[in-house]
Amino acid sequence: MSQPAHEPRKTLDPDRVAEWLACHPDFFVGREGLLQQLKVPHPETQGATSLLERLVHDLRRRAEGAEFRLEQLLDSARHNESQYRRTRELVLALLEAEDNDALGQALATQLSECFQTPAVALWCPSSLTDRDLQPPQPPRHVLDEHTGQRLAALLDGRASRCTRLTPTDWKRLIPHVKAPAKSGSCTIARLTLGDPQGYLVLASPDPDYFRASMDTLFTEYLADILVRLSLRLSERSHG
């Protein structure tokens, strides 16, 4: 009598196996020995490793990644705290200025000491200085038509901007500080309170110190403070 033929061996669909295991996460409870027999690709070398070893490896990598992200967050928090403290010292020094020349001096000193900004110029329209007993002292300067046109051209219709600063522009826009032999960089912000009230220029001989990709929010914030303090001090001295 002939033996019945064996049915062909069926192979389970891997996707269906994975789907079934996902629906039965407790399958390996009581089957821990099976976990030790499973082999999975090694993440760093050719060959296979046990599932438990792979899980340990993955958990270690996740822990290292979490530790790195935490360190980044801590670095960012420390940087923000430092920026806040320096900005606070700057604003307090500006508030203590008794006149516009003292305001300009406090600005230049704080930016140099706290923010490592080598050069600063504050260009004011003649309406803010024409009744002063003496000409404004650097870093303050009276804004003339030629300088105003050049600053407007560098801003190119924006409220603020970071850009390269040629030695020629340096001599024109920051005349009280010796110009570098090669192009540096600067950030420019328009002083505006209803009407245009001048320009703020921060500069460095380093061409990459103020890059075009940088955010100018701090420069605009500083310009907003300066224009208000400058107008208030001007009214006080002329009152």
Does pLDDT of 12 surpass 80?
no
* Cβ proximity of 93 and 106 under 8 Å: yes
Q: Compute how many other C-beta atoms are within 10 angstroms of the C-beta atom of residue 116.
A: 10
pLDDT per residue as tens digits for the range 176-221: 999 999 999 999 999 999 888 999 999 999 999 999 999 999 999 9
Does pLDDT of 229 surpass 90?
yes
Q: Compute how many other C-beta atoms are within 10 angstroms of the C-beta atom of residue 8.
A: 6
Question: Domain coordinates of the chain in residue numbers?
Answer: 69-237
47 SS3 class = coil
141 Cβ neighbours under 8 A, 6+ residues apart: 121, 122, 123, 124, 147, 175, 176
Sheet holding 119-124, edge to edge: 140-142, 119-124, 195-204, 184-193, 160-165
Q: What are phi and psi of 202, to 5 degrees?
A: -115, 130
Q: Half-sphere exposure (CA, 13 Å, Cβ side) for 49?
A: 13
Measured CA to CA, the distance from residue 135 to residue 35 in angstroms comes to 85
Secondary structure letter of residue 152 according to DSSP: H
Structure tokens at 79: 């940087």
Q: How long a stretch of residues is the chain? A: 239
CATH number of the domain at 69-237, please? 3.30.450.40
* Range list of β-strands (E), 102-238: 119-124, 140-142, 160-165, 184-193, 195-204
Banded model confidence at residue 49, pLDDT cuts 50, 70, 90: low
Banded model confidence at residue 43, pLDDT cuts 50, 70, 90: low
